Amino acid sequence: MTSTDSSYRSVLLSRPGAVVADNLDEGVAGHYGDPVPEQRALDRGTGYVDQSQRGIVTVTGADRLSWLTTLSSQVLTGLKPGQSTETMFLSIQGRVEFAPHAVDDGTTTWLIAEAQEAPGLAAWLESMRFAMRVEVADVSSQWAVIAATKDLSAELTAALEGTRAASDAVIVWRDPWPEISPGGYAYSTAPDHPGSERPWFEHLVPMSALESAAAALDEQGCTPAGSWAAEALRIAAWRPRWGAETDVKTIPHELDWMRTAVHLSKGCYKGQETVARVHNLGHPPRRLTFLDLDGSQHTLPAAGAEVFLNDKLVGHMTSARLHHEAGPIALAVLKRNVDPQAELLVRDTVGEGPGQESAPGGGAIEQWSAAQTVVVQPDAGSVVGRPKDLMRGPRDGGMRL
């Protein structure tokens, strides 16, 4: 749903076969010539992904964790060095404005964001400092992210010897998805969540050492994989991403983000009233769903493609990729009351070709049949008076009623 306008270009794009990605992943490789083998390697833990286009914001100072807790949807106070979480900074209406990944190293809280998310996040945090003992910096140009389905911190620490102090370990963020974090709540009732099959780690390395770090991983038998591979695994895991599944109206409930990014029993923060009201008494107006797309076509719809039920527009597709086992898959955000059993139709406008229906504004209309797997239930929310265990509630001090 979001496109970038960035001049960043990764040094790894100079590798043979590298094809540049677009939208959120602009500036890094979509693939290196073999998308499916790259995805298989990443899935089995022998691949890595250049995500150096990502934004990095640091917060230092004695008050950093308690200060971030007062501003965000998550409890960061007491976050131990190396412990990972994610949080959200919401509007007064409870809409998602920023959704960074967070890890603390004992002196600095590292917030890993999307490229176009980081400048606004840093500016907003700076405006909220007041008299607190904190310092905020956008260090995106100094740090790069290397992601993988296994923890590569030991390999990267060894690879970076000589460029960093020997005692300075690589910072690594472990994705908590799809665990129900303390104070969280699951809006998906799937007994076997597919996200459990996708461990995910984001490693921070100096931008100046990105090329040498990648070369060292290559020497250890790791396969470079492009962003297409990472996206396919993310979609299969039902994992929402800022700027892809979000828009200006998104609230956390719609994407099942209550499980990892919201603590329901923490103190007041901007947007909390909406979070509590929808969770306890209402329903989110939209819901995330997973789509199996018709595999007979050799194309995929673009992000933002319209989703129809019986010729009625019911939502938009947010992300789509070819999965190495499941074929073409996607995530979509639909109106809450769309029948979960209904087969949907995804429509997109593409370059005009022979025998294709023309779109009103030019180009041609292409269509894909799509079968749903419900992620967020249509009756999600309104937990006051709901029978216990109908949905899974939080651990460690949540508001299960």
Predicted confidence (pLDDT) per residue in 322-362, tens digit? 999 999 999 999 999 999 999 999 999 875 544 455 555 55
* pLDDT for 143 beyond 90: yes
Residue 231 has pLDDT above 70, yes or no: yes
**pLDDT value at residue 388:** 54
Residues 230 and 212: their CA atoms lie apart, in Å, by 22
Task: Calculate mean pLDDT across residues 177-201.
Answer: 95
CB of 89 closer than 8 Å to CB of 243: no
Q: Where are the chain's structural domains? A: 11-277, 286-374
What pLDDT shows up at residue 164?
A: 54
Please, what sign has the CA dihedral across residues 298, 303, 304, 309? positive
Provide mean pLDDT across the span 309-328.
Answer: 97
In the prediction, which pLDDT does 166 show? 43
Q: H-helix or E-strand containing 355?
A: none
pLDDT of residue 385: 64
- pLDDT tens digits, 51-84: 999 999 999 999 999 999 999 999 999 999 999 9
* Cβ contact 163:208 at 8 Å: yes
What's the rounded Cα separation, in Å, for the pair 172 and 157? 11
CA distance 348 to 366: 5
Sheet of strand 201-206: strand arrangement:
171-174, 201-206, 143-148, 47-50, 223-225
- Produce one character per residue of 61-85: b if its CB has 16 or more CB atoms within 10 Å, e if not: beebbebbbbbbbbbbeebeeeebb
CB burial of residue 175 (10 Å; 0-12, 13-18, 19+): buried
pLDDT at 202 over 60: yes
Over residues 18-39, the pLDDT tens digits come to 999 999 999 999 999 999 999 9
167 pLDDT tier (thresholds 50, 70, 90): very low
- Place 298 in a pLDDT band, splitting at 50, 70 and 90: confident
Q: Percentage of the chain surpassing pLDDT 70?
A: 89
- Global confidence as pTM: 0.92
Q: Which helix (H) or strand (E) holds 387?
A: none
How much is the pLDDT for 163? 63
Specify the pLDDT at position 349.
83
> Is the pLDDT score of 1 beyond 70?
no
Q: Could you give the percent of the chain with pLDDT greater than 90? A: 84
How far is Cα 398 from Cα 265, in angstroms, rounded to an integer?
6
Average pLDDT for the chain: 91
Query: pLDDT value at position 304?
Result: 97
Q: Which top CATH class is 286-374? A: mainly beta
Q: Mean pLDDT throughout 373-390?
A: 81
**CATH value of 11-277 in 3.40.50.2000, 3.30.70.1710, 3.40.50.620, 3.30.1360.120:** 3.30.1360.120
- Summarised one tens digit per residue, pLDDT across range 77-99 is 999 999 999 999 999 999 999 99
Q: What pairs with residue 360 in β-bridges?
A: none
At residue 108 the predicted structure's pLDDT band, cuts being 50, 70 and 90, is very high
pLDDT band (50, 70, 90) for residue 160: confident
In this prediction, residue 267 has a pLDDT band, given cuts at 50, 70 and 90, of confident
For residue 392, name the pLDDT band (cuts at 50, 70, 90): low
